[in-house]
Amino acid sequence: MINSKNYYDNIATNYHVQALAKMNYLNAVDNYITQTLANEPIIGYMDVGTGDGRRALKLINYFGLDNNIVLVDDSKEMLEQIAIDDNSVLFNGNIMNYKSSKTFSLITCLWNVLGHFPSVDDRINFFKLVEDYLQPGGVFIYDVNNRYNIAHYGFESVAKNITNDRLDDDNKGWFDLATGANKTKVYIHSPFDIEQYIEPTNLILEETVFIDYSTGVKKSNFFEGQLVYKLRKPHQHG
Ligand SMILES: C[S@@+](CC[C@H](N)C(=O)[O-])C[C@H]1O[C@@H](n2cnc3c(N)ncnc32)[C@H](O)[C@@H]1O
């Protein structure tokens, strides 16, 4: 069993093939981001788990961003796939080791990056970090795979996942990804996980969107799609 960093180092040159297979979904999430932020000025942008940077660069171009851009990834090989954009700072490392005095009005963390964090505490600490790096009024958008997504994983698998969750099984939500020498573990979220991430922060959940993993069509409930969240740091708290 290898860790996320080694897994992505190993698959980096073929990553675009995996992305191509889910392009309807990925484009739908990108479109959601551009639409929901259409009327917001973006002053500083950080993308966490940027991978080959394709989607971050697409958003940077779309919004016409040209400074205070940071793209973070643990995997050196993934970052090497990036078609360099001179305006962006690349940070190769675990996001939890990122240190800067800069803040951002937009932070994204796209396509189940959060599923590669090893524990719930790591995910909670990440949300605290996001809060620290967001400017007041700034937005955090992330999406994760959803273990209650019947449309994608099928009724039987979801029924099994719900049963495991009720038993409070220690392994709930953890699944194998890939096989052989590339085997790693990935956490597939439930629609209820977000509560514990937000609770220790002042972040406000503004919108939850469910998107079909094959077609990219927006759905009305969590049994039919993956989970996309838009959160905001309040302008002032207290
Ligand atoms: C499924 S890929 C998504 C890449 C990109 N966001 C996209 O949508 O195409 C997940 C990426 O997250 C990175 N990653 C996972 N955990 C990380 C962490 N703690 N810090 C930085 N990067 C991380 C992996 O190296 C990998 O490149």
Dump pLDDT digits (tens) for 160-186.
Answer: 999 999 997 778 999 999 888 889 999
How far is residue 37 from each of residues 66, 109, 160, measured CA to CA in Å? 17, 15, 37
pTM as predicted: 0.97
* Residue 133 scores a pLDDT above 70: yes
N-terminal to C-terminal alpha carbon distance within the chain:
45
- Taking the C-alpha atoms of residue 63 and residue 47, their distance in angstroms, rounded to an integer, is 14
- 57 Cα–ligand 1 center, Å: 15
Q: Are 208 and 189 in contact (CB under 8 A)?
A: no
* Residue 78 CB–ligand 1 contact under 6 Å: yes
The domain locations on the chain are: 4-232
Please answer whether residues 45 and 58 qualify as being in contact, where contact means their C-beta atoms are separated by less than 8 angstroms. no
**Residue 129: CB within 6 Å of ligand 1?**
no
- Per-residue pLDDT of 103-118, as tens digits, reads 999 999 999 999 999 9
Indicate whether residue 111 lines ligand 1 (CB < 6 A).
yes
Mean pLDDT within 14-36? 97
Cβ of 51 closer than 6 Å to ligand 1, yes or no, is: yes
> Model confidence at 85, in pLDDT bands (50, 70, 90)?
confident
pLDDT in tens, 180-189: 888 999 999 9
Mean pLDDT of 229-234: 98
Q: Which pLDDT score, from 0 to 100, does residue 119 have? A: 95
Cβ–ligand 1 contact at 230 (below 6 Å): no
Question: Measured in angstroms, how far is the CA atom of residue 180 from the centroid of ligand 1?
Answer: 21
Q: 136 to each of 108, 114, 193, how far by Cα in Å?
A: 16, 23, 24
* Domain boundaries 4-232, corresponding CATH code: 3.40.50.150
- Give Rg (Cα) of the chain: 17
184-187 vs 204-211, strand pairing mode: unpaired
What pLDDT was estimated at residue 180? 87
Among 143, 132, 176, smallest CA distance to 55 is for 143
pLDDT value at position 168? 76
Residue having the nearest C-alpha atom to atom 10 of ligand 1 = 113
Ligand 1 contact via 115 beta carbon (within 6 Å): no
CA of 76 to the centre of ligand 1 (A): 11
**What's the CA gap between 230 and 108, in Å, rounded?**
9
Residue of 94, 154, 101 lying closest to 125 (CA atoms)? 94
| Å from CA of 222 to ligand 1 middle | 23
Rounded distance between C-alpha atoms, residue 178 and residue 182, angstroms = 6
H or E element at residue 199: none
Q: Tell me 166's DSSP state.
A: H
Helix ranges (DSSP H) in 23-53? 23-36
Q: Please determine, for residue 98, whether its predicted confidence score (pLDDT) is greater than 80.
A: yes
Atom 18 in ligand 1: which residue has the minimum CA distance? 94
**72 close to ligand 1 (CB < 6 Angstrom):** yes
Residue 124, pLDDT score: 98
Work out the pLDDT band at 237, boundaries 50, 70, 90. Answer: low
* Closest residue by CA, ligand 1 atom 19: 94
**Does the CB atom of residue 53 touch ligand 1 within 6 A?**
no
Which regions of the chain does DSSP assign to beta strands (E)? 45-48, 69-73, 88-92, 104-109, 134-144, 174-177, 184-187, 204-211, 218-219, 226-232
Ligand 1 midpoint to CA 237 (Å): 31
At residue 124, φ and ψ (nearest 5 deg) are -65, -45
